[in-house]
Amino acid sequence: MGIVRRCHRPGAGHGGQGVNAERWRWLRLRWRSLFRSRRKETELDRELQFHLDQLTEEYVAHGMARDEARLAAQREFGTLDPYREACRDSWRPNWMTDLLPDLRFAVRQLSKARSFALVSILTLAIGIGTTTAIFSIYNSVVLRPLDYADSHELVEIRRVQATTQEQVPRRLAAFQVWEQHATSYSDLAAYSYLSGNMTGIEHPIRLVGNYVTPNLFRTLGVQPILGRDFTAEDALPGRTNVFILSHDFWQEYFGGRPDVLNHTIRFSDQSFSIIGVLPQGVRDEPDTPQVFAPLDRSVIEPTRRGLMNIVGRLKESVTLDQAQSEMDVLAAQLAQAKPDLWSGIETRVFPMLDYHVRGISSPLAMLLGAVAFLLLIACVNVANLSLARASTRQREIAVRTALGAGRGRIVRQLLAESILLASVGGVFGVALAYGIMPMLLEFAPAAMPRMNEVRIDGVALGFCCVITMVTGVGFGLMPAVMSSKVNLTTSIKDGSRGAGGGRQGGRLRHALVVAEVSLAMILLAGAGLLTRSFTNLQETDLGFNPDHIYATRIQLEPHRYPNVESQHTFIDRALEQITAQPGIEAASLSTTLPFFRVYEIGMDIETNRQDPNRLPQVGFFGVTPDYFAVTQTKLLEGRLFTDRDRGDSPRVVIISKRLAEQYFPGVSPLGRRITVTTGEDRPWFEIVGVVEEVRHWGAPTINSPQFYMPLHQSFIPVRIVLAVRNQPGAPDPAGRVAAAIREVNPNIAVARELGELSTYADNALTLHRFCLFLFGVFSVVAVLLAALGIYGVVAYTVNQRTTEIGVRMALGAQPRDVVRLVLHRASIMVGVGMIIGISGALAGSRLLNSVLHEVSPQDPLTFAAISIALAVVAVTACYLPARRAAQVSPLNVLRT
């Protein structure tokens, strides 16, 4: 038997399953006691009265007269008040009832400390506001479910190269296999691209949209708001001339008229009847589809390459992993059965939301992390201010303690103050968030998915409330606990310059400064790296000059241009007409152009045969001779194409620099022969020129090297890209181009506005610019806050040490020595903070990788530069109070 323990502590821990119920009951009691105290009082009175009556009855039973018995009972009972008081005490320890007076008191206290309150609220508002704004974007884009019914069940299915994980075109054949064999889906739908000229109106327009399997909208859970959905019959050969319109197209071209269902559209010289209109928001993305037609499988040859997008709805009981493993099994089986089509290719099942936001979710998460740091710095700063303030309140707190306030009570009351500060800061923060939101969206990447859905919603506001409370407690708790530890005697006795939270308070203050400096350092490092990266991006040679290039797609429909001759005639005449227009320097037609779709294709070399299953992929461009005059891509070797490179002349190609370096290292590739077709009797093309490498998607992306062929010697796609180089200063050439094309064929649509390549090139940088802008703002604010924090702490310490400094000076210390004394302490804090910050930044900067361009996340130059910058700011923040310390007059100090 060990030590005897008496464990009759009331309220000692009692765990188990009863805890939750108990918590709940406790809360209910608290709640009730907040509002029903009067009822409780009367109940108590009744209860005590009952007891008194019972006592009276007992005396009566013992033979007393009733009146006498009552008196005797009352005598024994005494007055009721002490019981009442004792019982009330058992209800009262209630922070909820304390809260209101605490808050009232906090308001009074804070209105006495205006500048403290103002700085704190401002700091918190900046922290909370920016965090709320960034969270709203993150929430709207990445977290909020897509606007489809049960959208968590929706998946995108893609085929990727096993080695590179790059997407390969999905073919109808693959879709049909999955459609027949996959059991994970309640619905599996596919859609491909649709485009053509809409005629029968004054100016033909080019329609874009999707050919869809009839179940696509059902799979997505979307109902047309007008008319009907597609049925299986609509996809039968010969019956596919029906359109469902997107909401936007309906509004734009039919003015939202409900009788649109009686209309027909002339598309590719065929009549399509309109059978339905989709609700708003369905697939209304930039470059949005306007019309949907049923996919006629007999037309799209089963094995032909074509971009099929495949979406599925998982059965309720099926998880993503199960679906993925089923697809893996199917892929393995198919790779054995048809290796030519399936080997080396994996199937991936992505949740639809993840798939759509894959490019943006990690940059956004990174920004959210950055803004969280900013919030943290704001908290640290306010904690520091509170701590300094608390030390001036030692006396007040000591008096309260002396009057019987427990430590918990003091902490609660100080916390009420910080929660009040945080709440006011939160309110201003929300206002700030609403204020900066439009600006953020202005800067947001052009291609950011779900842009139109970004808003500050209930979730974001709830998040804001939570972080407000957390910050309130976060920055308030430490100082509150710290300052509730008071030494009554010393504090009350000499009050004025009390212990100041003592040694511990000083250490905490220094720790907070260190934290602030290191957090600011991390943000600054991010901003520095992004700045370097952005400079690199802007200085990147694209290999072409996107300024003044205007481009659009036009549609050479097969029924109008059935053979090569007719296509060539159109090309020649169109270019002739366009270049005849004023203000146009050069014009070209090509299979594609930078920022338009890439055709990747396998290449083989006559003198260096490649493995037919692993042909190197190159970007294929069929171009007219003036193409390089339009793009201003530099010729490095050999010659460019001329008008003499026709369909019947010797076959020639031009390759890009990287292709030349990679496959003809150290030798001139001129005169060598390569090809992009397969088969034994394939034609070989002689390399006649080498041109500069082109960054097809703009500076941030590296793509396959390029392979150019005269358009007259290449295949001519249905969609062909028309590009013109406008003379500087000339207006958008769309009108002139349209007029020229009309001369050649009035049924070919030209867009009302042409896309400007410089805009595309700029858009390619918006993600980087967005991250840089935000990081830049965050880090500047962070550095300012940190400087403010350093200044505050050093100034406070100087204040505390005035007497000591005075004595030192009286004993002969020079102002220089005093400055050195103050700076010495401060620079240790800053130095430690910077070291921690640099290590943190080095560890964390890898997270930036997705948005860094040709900069190592550990770039020494950046780190050196920001260290110096931060050190300068920090020293300045220290120097101001240090100089004031040096101006202390020893006479004044010693006299007091």
The residues that touch other proteins, with contacts defined as CB under 8 A, are 1, 4, 6-11, 14, 16, 18, 21-22, 25-26, 29, 43-44, 46-48, 50-51, 53-55, 57, 77-78, 82-83, 86-87, 89-91
Smallest distance, other proteins to C-beta of residue 410, A: 23
Smallest distance, other proteins to C-beta of residue 93, A: 9
Smallest distance, other proteins to C-beta of residue 431, A: 42
Smallest distance, other proteins to C-beta of residue 95, A: 14
Q: How many CB atoms lie within 10 A of CB 427?
A: 16
Smallest distance, other proteins to C-beta of residue 866, A: 57
Smallest distance, other proteins to C-beta of residue 44, A: 8
Phi, psi for residue 224 in degrees, rounded to 5: -60, 145
Secondary structure (H, E, C), 651-701:
CEEEEEHHHHHHHCCCCCCCCCEEECCCCCCCCCEEEEEEECCCCCCCCCC
CA distances from 455 to 310, 363, 374 (A): 30, 18, 22
Secondary structure (H, E, C), 457-493:
CHHHHHHHHHHHHHHHHHHHHHHHHHHHCCCHHHHHH
Smallest distance, other proteins to C-beta of residue 34, A: 14
Smallest distance, other proteins to C-beta of residue 89, A: 7
The whole-angstrom separation of Cα 896 and Cα 888 is 13
Residues 266, 296: contact at Cβ < 8 Å? no
Alpha carbons within 13 angstroms on the beta-carbon side of residue 580 total 12
Helix H or strand E encompassing 584: strand 584-590
Smallest distance, other proteins to C-beta of residue 883, A: 59
The whole-angstrom separation of Cα 529 and Cα 852 is 7
Smallest distance, other proteins to C-beta of residue 96, A: 13
Pick 86 or 667: Cβ nearer other proteins: 86
Smallest distance, other proteins to C-beta of residue 100, A: 20
Smallest distance, other proteins to C-beta of residue 97, A: 13
Pick 82 or 404: Cβ nearer other proteins: 82
Closest-CA residue to 173 (of 348, 351, 330): 330
The whole-angstrom separation of Cα 567 and Cα 718 is 10
Q: Any idea how long the chain is?
A: 896
The whole-angstrom separation of Cα 235 and Cα 172 is 14
Give start and end residues of each alpha helix (H) in 36-80: 37-61, 66-77
- Cβ burial of 736 (10 Å; 0-12, 13-18, 19+) is buried
The position carrying tokens 């009074």 is 108
Q: What share of the chain is helix, strand, coil (3-state, %, to 5)?
A: 55, 15, 30
Pick 75 or 895: Cβ nearer other proteins: 75
Pick 87 or 865: Cβ nearer other proteins: 87
DSSP 275-322: EEEPPTTTT--SS---EEEE--TTTS-TTS----EEEEEE-TT--HHH
Pick 44 or 64: Cβ nearer other proteins: 44
Pick 2 or 728: Cβ nearer other proteins: 2
Residues 412, 541: contact at Cβ < 8 Å? no
Find all residues with CB under 8 Å of 344, minimum gap 6, and list them: 161, 162, 163, 335, 613
Pick 75 or 108: Cβ nearer other proteins: 75
Pick 76 or 150: Cβ nearer other proteins: 76
The whole-angstrom separation of Cα 558 and Cα 507 is 80
Pick 90 or 164: Cβ nearer other proteins: 90
The whole-angstrom separation of Cα 501 and Cα 738 is 79
The whole-angstrom separation of Cα 208 and Cα 138 is 31
CA 463 from chain center: how many Å? 16
Pick 80 or 225: Cβ nearer other proteins: 80
The whole-angstrom separation of Cα 111 and Cα 362 is 43
Pick 19 or 564: Cβ nearer other proteins: 19
The whole-angstrom separation of Cα 405 and Cα 389 is 20
The whole-angstrom separation of Cα 735 and Cα 552 is 13
Smallest distance, other proteins to C-beta of residue 7, A: 5
Does residue 32 come out as left (phi exceeding 0), alpha (psi in the -120 to 50 range) or beta?
alpha
The whole-angstrom separation of Cα 381 and Cα 781 is 12
Smallest distance, other proteins to C-beta of residue 4, A: 5
Pick 27 or 307: Cβ nearer other proteins: 27
Pick 86 or 811: Cβ nearer other proteins: 86
What letter represents residue 531's amino acid?
T
Pick 45 or 643: Cβ nearer other proteins: 45
Pick 48 or 168: Cβ nearer other proteins: 48
Smallest distance, other proteins to C-beta of residue 408, A: 17
What letter represents residue 760's amino acid?
Y
Smallest distance, other proteins to C-beta of residue 404, A: 19
Read off the DSSP letter of residue 184: S
Pick 4 or 811: Cβ nearer other proteins: 4
Pick 35 or 50: Cβ nearer other proteins: 50
Pick 21 or 667: Cβ nearer other proteins: 21
CA 480 from chain center: how many Å? 36
Read off the DSSP letter of residue 558: T
Smallest distance, other proteins to C-beta of residue 18, A: 4
Smallest distance, other proteins to C-beta of residue 11, A: 6
Q: How many CB atoms lie within 10 A of CB 534?
A: 22
Tokens of 86: 């004792």
The whole-angstrom separation of Cα 560 and Cα 566 is 8
The whole-angstrom separation of Cα 175 and Cα 157 is 9
